[in-house]
Amino acid sequence: MVIPVSGPAHERGEALGRAHRDTIARLLARRATPAAAVRPYADCVRERLPAVAAEVTGLAAGSGITEADAWWLQLRRELLAVPAGDCTTAAFASTGLIGQTVDLPPGLGDGLHALDVAAEAEAPAALVVTFAGLLGYLGINAAGLAVGINMVQSADWGVGVPPYLLVRAVLRCRGLDEAVQLLRATPRASSRCLTLLAGGAAAVVEMTATDLRVTEAGTVAMTNHFVHPDLAPLDTSEPAARMESRLRRRRLQARLTETPHDVTGLQRTLLDPAFQVAGVAPGALATVATVVSEPGRGRIHVRPRNGDWQSITGSWAA
């Protein structure tokens, strides 16, 4: 499902809210967080990223929910106790390709769709793969920038901008330097690793809520633990999960030495059962989609769980 959005930020949010009104209502039936809990985060986003905050306000209007509920949808990973660790990401800077599995707990992966966001004076057009009620997850923009996301764990989570909204803000940037500068300057609510790709270069941005390291790489293989030696001691994931993540990363690194640096090669690699999460236990993580992006061509290939590959081209590249 592709949702075209354009106009002022509030109108873009309204369009998204209207498109997923029923799914959003079902998601909110599970909400148990007081409205006051989201207010400090909302205030931070309004101060630091006003255009993104206006989209959240529009989302509330379009879906007929309160603003507090709209903010809760952006903050579920920060406010709910959910399983740790998700996503396997690979990228080839030389051919401008980035791909990942999208591994999420139940409920967070409902309403998979792509937002085709029209250009503004302040930001390029973008194609954002995300879920019902969530403004950002991963994507590309017309400036040739792509972003992927992995969960990593640290103990310093607090009030700040949730990383999913950081992704939405990054896709308003016009290159790697601007994106990294934005990430350095913005208070973060929680830890993540973002992989950025543009102009034949890739950067892995490992972030706790209060610290950040950037590593440039020709080939990227990221899972769910901190790799940078400055941040590795801050990893708070369970030892067994950390070991699994390290083994999965080594397996991915080995596969990428043999994988053709093209779309088909990356698709086949990520569909290997070693990188797909079955999600068989109640409440367990599951791979809800696999995505390969070609930012230079304005194209994203998405394979929903148990579905077929679908290619989506941004309106600017069609």
Does a structural domain hold residue 19?
A: no
Tokens of 109: 């992966």
- Residue 105: pLDDT band (50, 70, 90) is confident
Does a structural domain hold residue 129?
A: yes
- Among candidate residues 309, 311, 296, 283, the one with its CA nearest the CA of residue 107: 283
Which CATH number fits the domain that encloses residue 238?
A: 3.60.60.10
User: pLDDT tens, 174-214?
Assistant: 999 999 999 999 999 999 999 999 999 999 999 999 999 99
- Residue 278: pLDDT band (50, 70, 90) is confident
Does a structural domain hold residue 207?
A: yes
Mean pLDDT of 86-98: 96
Q: How far is CA 232 from the centre of its chain?
A: 22
The domain in which residue 119 lies consists of: 83-313
Across the strands, what pairs with 203? Answer: 196, 216
User: pLDDT tens, 126-179?
Assistant: 999 999 999 999 999 999 999 999 999 999 999 999 999 999 999 999 999 999
Reported pTM:
0.96
Does a structural domain hold residue 5?
A: no
Q: What is the pLDDT of residue 32?
A: 65
Does a structural domain hold residue 235?
A: yes
- Percent of the chain scoring above 70 in pLDDT: 97
- β-strand pairing of 97-104 with 299-304: unpaired
pLDDT at 33 exceeding the cut of 90? no
Burial label for 105, CB within 10 Å (0-12, 13-18, 19+), is buried
Does a structural domain hold residue 182?
A: yes
Q: What is the pLDDT of residue 285?
A: 86
Does a structural domain hold residue 286?
A: yes
- Residue 82: pLDDT band (50, 70, 90) is low
Angle at 200 between CA 194 and CA 202, to 5 degrees: 20
pLDDT at 12 exceeding the cut of 90? yes
Mean pLDDT of 8-13: 96
- Residue 81: pLDDT band (50, 70, 90) is low
- Residue 61: pLDDT band (50, 70, 90) is very high
pLDDT at 83 exceeding the cut of 70? no
Tell me how far apart the alpha carbons of residues 264 and 270 are, in angstroms, rounded to a whole number. Answer: 10
Tell me the average pLDDT of the chain.
94
- Residue 268: pLDDT band (50, 70, 90) is very high
Q: What is the pLDDT of residue 36?
A: 86
Q: What is the pLDDT of residue 79?
A: 86
Q: What is the pLDDT of residue 84?
A: 67
The number of distinct structural domains making up the chain is 1
Does a structural domain hold residue 108?
A: yes
Mean pLDDT of 116-132: 96
